[in-house]
Every structure is written in C-alpha cells, then in structure tokens.
Amino acid sequence: MTISVAMVGAGRMGAKHVAALAAMDDVHIVGVADVRPEAATALADETGGEAFADYREMLERLKPDVAYFCTPPADHGEQLVFAAGLGINMFVEKPLASSMVDANAIVDAVERAGVLFTVGYQWRYNPTADVARETLGDLSATLLAGWWYWTIPPIPWIADRRYGGGQVFEQATHQIDLMRFLGGDIQEVYAVYAQNARPESELPNWDANAVTMRFASGAAGSLHTTYALFPGIPNGNAVDIIARELLIRAQSARCTVFRRDQEPVETKGPEGWTIDQPYMEAVRRNDPNLIRSPARDSAKSIAVSLAANYSAVTGKIVDVGAFMANPPTDVAIMPTG
C-alpha cells in the first residue's frame, strides 16, 4: 500500500512535514499547493510531486489519500470543509481555526465525512505524554502550570496579533492542549495581557500573557507566556502537573518525574520521532482510535485560547462551554486572514 499525500502550504512547516513523510517508504508526496507558485514548485521539485497555485484544483485532480494543511488558521475553515467534502483524510497544523464559528463548521464537516483527521498537537502525541499520563494514574492533579518564554516570532504574520492571534492562541495552544490531555476539560478562564516591553512598532502584539484556569475536575491551572525575551533560554517552556507528593514536568520531547527523597527520573522521546509517524500509522490501519487530536477535541483547546483573549480584552471571567456554544462578537479577539 502506498499512501499519497498532497501538501497545502509550502512554507516552514510544510517543508518540515515533507521531510518527515519522505523518509517513509510507503508515502508518496504527489502534489504541493501554495499561493506563491515559486514556493510550491521548489518544494514539489524535492519530492517529485506536481506544483499547484490552487489547492482546490490539486485536491480535485489528484484525489490524494491524505491532505496536509500547513496554512494560517484563518484559512482553515474554507480549506478543511472543502477537503472533507471530497472525503480526504487530513492533517492540519495547529490551531484548528481562527474562530469558534469556523471550528464548529470544521467539526461538523469532518464528522459528517468520517475521514481520519488530526490537528498537529505533537506534545500529546509524543510517547513522553504517555509517561506523564501513566505516572499520574489515578491521582487527582491539583495544579497544572505552563510557561513559554520566547522572543519575537520570526514569521511576520505570527508576530502580528491581528493575524496570528497572540502567543496564547498560536504558540501556547500546545500547552493548553497538553493540560487538557492530562487534566481534563477547562471550565473557566481569566486572563491579563500586557505590552510593556516592546513597542507596537516593533511587535504589534501582546508581549506578556497570564492566564488562570479552573478545570472541571476542580484543579487549578495557570499559563504565563512572553515574547519579550530572546531565544536560547534553557527550559523555556513546559507544563508542570502537580498531585500529592508528585511533580511531573512535561516538555515537547521529555518528561521528568520528581518524588520525595528520590532522584528525578527523566524520559526522553524517541530519537527522530515526528507526529507524522503516528498519524500515518492511523491512515495505514484506517483506525480512528489512533487519532489523539480529533477535530471536536481540538476545538476545545482553541476555545480556551480564544476565551483567554476575550477575557484579557474585556476583563471578564469566561465560561468556556458558554463561549463555545455562543461565541461573542462584541470585540475583535480572533486572527483574520
């Protein structure tokens, strides 16, 4: 069996996924689409696939087994609903969508089509997440705390909150998603954002974000992130999960467990591991049970991020369930295309 894959988006993440997929003997990149024809051609030439300027033409003509979408979240609503209508399995880079309206439309289309669909939340897919989950076991987490200390994003549209949605939405969505994976659903959100370190002319975005969360389990949650710093800070991002006499520190490719009077135990992810490996295995087996970030669950993760944006702008405590059911339209909190 050969799995045919079409890539929508020939930027940094598209190239990264192409490299991972090209290492698999049974995967063939048949096409690359990008609104920049030269980028599509350059990446397609590396794979032996065909280049397209219009993703619709590519998907209709090539009818691939899988389509990868490595495009800005504001484009996802139209793109993913279109591909679902063709019955194509999909991998989409996070976040799922730029609004709850688009997210809900994607969920409906994907579930109606019955395709194998995942969002690229590699933190929960990494085998180290299983170590964290198994270590926690039946213990009740009482605190989940995440942080991400970083610099101005190198991608201009991500650096601009009007298009990237801010750090909590675009980057720290990984940590929110992992918190939900390990701690269950989040019921309430309250956030305070700041822009004291970098002027608007340098960074048209919030440069500091603090979010407090209440989990349905009763656990407390916190997230603090910044674009005010510089690259290379050791342990610049993680999620701590705290239970009785137990600290689990989960990062993108390692998990460290701390217990009283014991040496910390660190488990690293497999060398060369990528999220493409488990997703392609789900496609090979046609097994939805291997999908860890389906559309409906991923919509809950972006709801927390967008609810945090809304809270920061309005000063309100936000009920996440109500936010998802009836998304507010009174302030601009979502990235635009």
Q: Which of 205, 202, 120 has the alpha carbon at shortest distance from 165?
A: 205
271 burial type by CB count under 10 A (0-12 exposed, 13-18 middle, 19+ buried): exposed
Reading the block at residue 122, the tokens are 């590699």
Domain range annotation of the chain: 3-121+275-292, 123-273+301-325
Strand partners, 193: 209
CA dist., res. 10 & res. 293, Å (int): 23
pLDDT of residue 188: 98
Could you read off the pLDDT tens digit of each residue along the chain, which spans 337 residues? Answer: 799 999 999 999 999 999 999 999 999 999 999 999 999 999 999 999 999 999 999 999 999 999 999 999 999 999 999 999 999 999 999 999 999 999 999 999 999 999 999 999 999 999 999 999 999 999 999 999 999 999 999 999 999 999 999 999 999 999 999 999 999 999 999 999 999 999 999 999 999 999 999 999 999 999 999 999 999 999 999 999 999 999 999 999 999 999 999 999 999 999 999 999 999 999 999 999 999 999 999 999 999 999 999 999 999 999 999 999 999 988 887 766 5
CATH code of the region 3-121+275-292: 3.40.50.720
CATH 3.40.50.300 matches 123-273+301-325: no
In angstroms, the CA 164 to CA 146 distance is 20
Provide the residue type at 291 as one letter: I
- Looking up tokens 């997210």 gives 103
Whose CA is closest to 182, among 137, 147, 224?
Answer: 137
Q: What helix, strand, coil percent values describe the chain, rounded to 5?
A: 40, 25, 35
The structure tokens listed for 232 are 């290379």
Residue 337's pLDDT is what?
A: 53
Pairing of strands 89-92, 246-250: unpaired
Q: Where are the beta strands (DSSP E) in the chain?
A: 3-8, 27-33, 50-52, 66-69, 89-92, 117-119, 143-149, 186-194, 208-215, 220-226, 237-243, 246-250, 254-259, 265-268, 318-319
The predicted structure's pLDDT at residue 332: 80
Q: In degrees, to the nearest 5, what angle opens at C-alpha 178 toward C-alphas 19 and 194?
A: 100
- Report the distance separating Cα 58 and Cα 50, nearest Å: 9
Distances (CA, A) of 52 to 38, 271, 337: 10, 34, 21
Other C-beta atoms within 10 Å of 326: how many?
Answer: 9
Confidence at residue 333, expressed as pLDDT on a 0 to 100 scale: 79
pLDDT of residue 330: 83
User: Which residue, 235, 133, 128, 249, is CA-closest to 184?
Assistant: 133
User: How high is the pLDDT of residue 331?
Assistant: 84
